[in-house]
Amino acid sequence: MSERLLMVESELDTLFLVSQLLNSTQDLHSKLKDILEILHERSGLRFGMITLRSVEDDSMGICEIYGEGIDRTVRFQPGDGLVGSILDEGNTIVVERIADEPRFLNRLGIYDPELPFIGSPLAVGQNEVVGILAAQPCNNRFLGERARFMEMVANLIAHSVNMLWVLERKQSELASERDFLKQTLVRNYRFENIIGHSEPMLKVFDIIRQVAKWQTTVLIRGESGTGKEVVANAIHFNSACANGPFLKLNCAALPDNLLESELFGHEKGAFSGAVGQRKGRFELADNGTLFLDEIGEISASFQAKLLRVLQEGEFERVGGTRTLKVNVRIIAATNRNLEQDVADGLFREDLYYRLNVMPINMPPLRDRIEDIPELSRFLLNRISKQQGGRPLEIKESALRILMKHHWPGNVRELENRLERAAIMSQDGVIDRDVMASTGLEDEIQVIRPQAAPARPVDLHSEEMDERERVIAALEQSGWVQAKAARLLDMTPRQIAYRIQTLNISVKQF
């Protein structure tokens, strides 16, 4: 068999081994080191060297080199010697005898000056050079074929390096995005970001600051729409397990069989449709927090299963036999009267005491009317973002209407009303007339609850425009124009003119 044919067979065998190495699970440096060893032993390419380009300064550093005791700290600049020329030109360079090449600087001091040298660029995309593969053939026969072989190996390495760099960039971007989102969550759920300065809310703040320090189970109680989930978020993101996962589950949204699978997970084939193993919320929330909303809605049979996890921290996946142990902080929430449910036999007493270690009672909005102005401005800012950044403003006259309502739907109803008012407002300004157009004022007349005393209004405040001042005076006078005129030091004729020119809808009784 001819020498050329033997060389071709050896190169094909080497390419196969190189491709296998690049597809292996080894780290990049191990792959490149083994490739250089294969080139040395099977293809007669000695002192193989692979350099990779630095993103910071465009220089080229040695990534791997075959041989011991070689200075690996050498760096090459574009145009600097033979390696620098390959980096600069982006083409393979073949030197028949190193001693005859003036660009050869011999900075490594390992090459035989009487033998040839081949260097090929690791090129990706539009001829972007990310590195260089270089080696010294043991003789000068078939240099053209050897150069093409080196180019094929270089292309395989370049593709693998590029894929790895793309993956590393994506992982870095995902890690940065994850850290940014986590920091945003922490900022959003700081205690001071929970809206409210009323006495009932200040008591809530004192409790959650204390409870966040410990790993104890928390039961958040209150009517629907009072902000129980917001408090659960604040407790988690201000606790020692803030860096751990925070998972949520609405227990009322799923039947028992799905709830069990959702919380505990299932094994493959545990039931029809279980095509693979799946981890449950308890397992996923290990070393973090699990928020169980509407805990009072779970059935008596499932209460026993949940009790075991809360007591022992142990469970089995559905269809499984292996006992799993987790460290999860439980925050539960309910709008039900659990004491009455225990008395009626609807809720297990032992589970009740296990959950009710640290209760937090969320006050209804009607008990914290003084928080409505601050809450309204916060919610309007959120609604503004939902409407594409549209500027929204709420006037004092609109806030006074809001503060007269009974709010059976609490904060959720308040947000609903504000969103409706924002839609009804042509210019983004929500005043008394806009708020009245949502039907809220009519409901107040029908319900007529015993509302909290209205906030005193300074009719001479510089922050009030003329329209708001006239509306405030009319409200204080029971919409009797003559009384309102006296409050504003006007004549009845003057206030009637203001009502007409300012387009104020007069309330009829």
CATH number at residue 198: 3.40.50.300
Q: Give the CATH number of the domain where residue 481 resides.
A: 1.10.10.60
Place of tokens 């916060």: 378
Q: Cα–Cα distance between 285 and 151 in angstroms, integer?
A: 50
Are residues 292 and 331 in contact, defined by beta-carbon separation less than 8 angstroms? Answer: yes
Each residue of 366-414: pLDDT tens digit? 999 999 999 999 999 999 999 988 999 999 889 988 998 989 999 999 9
Q: Which of 439, 455, 471 is the last residue of a domain?
A: 455
314 in any annotated domain = yes
End of a domain among 114, 139, 168? 168
> Cα dist. 51→48, 148, 158, 367 in Å?
10, 19, 11, 71
Q: What is the predicted pLDDT for the residue at 508? A: 58
Residues 161 and 198 in one domain: no
Q: How far apart are CA 88 and CA 106, in angstroms?
A: 18
Task: Answer yes or no: do 397 and 482 share one domain.
Answer: no
pLDDT at 181: 77
> Tens of pLDDT along 50-84?
888 876 666 777 888 887 778 777 787 777 788 88
Q: Are residues 22 and 96 in the same domain?
A: yes
Q: Same structural domain for residues 470 and 385?
A: no
Cα three-residue angle 468-474-479, rounded to 5 degrees:
145
CB 246 within 8 A of CB 360: no
Total domains in the chain come to 4
In a domain, 216, yes or no: yes
Mark whether 291 and 343 lie in a shared domain: yes
Ordered per-residue pLDDT tens for the chain, 509 residues: 577 788 878 888 888 888 888 888 888 888 888 888 988 888 888 888 888 887 666 677 788 888 777 877 778 777 778 888 888 788 899 998 988 888 888 888 888 889 999 999 988 877 788 888 999 998 888 888 889 999 998 988 888 888 887 887 888 888 888 777 777 766 666 766 688 889 999 899 889 889 988 889 999 999 999 999 999 998 998 888 888 899 999 998 888 878 888 999 888 877 777 778 888 899 999 999 999 999 999 988 889 889 988 888 888 888 888 888 889 999 999 999 999 999 999 999 999 999 999 999 999 999 999 999 999 999 999 999 999 889 999 998 899 889 989 899 999 999 999 999 999 998 999 988 898 888 887 666 554 444 444 456 777 777 778 888 888 888 888 788 877 888 888 888 888 878 888 888 776 54
The token duo for 268 is 């493959």
Q: Is residue 331 part of a domain?
A: yes
Please indicate, yes or no, whether residues 359 and 401 belong to a single structural domain of this protein. Answer: no
Is 179 inside a domain boundary? Answer: no
Question: Does one domain contain both 437 and 464?
Answer: no
In order of 15, 376, 397, 399, 428, the CA distances from 394 in angstroms are 72, 8, 8, 7, 8
Domain that holds residue 153: 3-168
Note the pLDDT of residue 223: 93
- As a whole number of angstroms, the distance between CA 382 and CA 415 comes to 9
pLDDT value at residue 1: 56
Is 173 within the bounds of a domain? no
Whether residues 231 and 332 share a domain: the answer is: yes
- The pairing of strands 323-325 and 393-394 is unpaired
Spatial distance between the Cα atoms of 474 and 486, rounded to a whole number of angstroms: 10
Burial grade of 64 (CB within 10 A; 0-12, 13-18, 19 or more): buried
- Spatial strand order of the sheet with 328-334 comes to 246-250, 288-293, 328-334, 218-221, 358-361
Cβ-in-10-Å burial (0-12, 13-18, 19+) of 351 comes to buried
Q: How many CA atoms lie less than 13 Å away from 192 in the CB half-sphere?
A: 1
Q: Last residue of some domain: 455, 471, 500?
A: 455
In this structure, is residue 380 part of a structural domain? yes
- 383, HSE (Cβ side, Cα atoms, 13 Å): 24
pLDDT at 213: 87
Residue 213 shares a structural domain with residue 255: yes
Residue 386, domain CATH: 1.10.8.60
For the residues of 31-78, what is the DSSP string, one character each?
Answer: HHHHHHHHHHHHH-EEEEEEEEE-TTTS-EEEEEESSSS-----EE-T
Pairing of strands 93-95, 117-124: antiparallel
What's the predicted TM-score (pTM) here? 0.63
Establish if 203 belongs to a structural domain: yes
What's the pLDDT score for residue 444? 67
**Domain check: are 403 and 333 in the same one?**
no
Please indicate, yes or no, whether residues 245 and 350 belong to a single structural domain of this protein: yes
**Residues 355 and 393 both lie in one domain:** no
Quote the pLDDT of residue 221. 95
pLDDT at residue number 453 = 46
Would 309 be classed as within a structural domain?
A: yes
Say if CB 164 and CB 76 are below 8 A apart. Answer: no
Nearest to 233 by CA among 290, 298, 310: 290
* 394, β-bridge pairs: 430
Structure tokens at 409: 């739907």
Position 58 scores a pLDDT of: 66
For 89, the 3-state DSSP assignment is helix
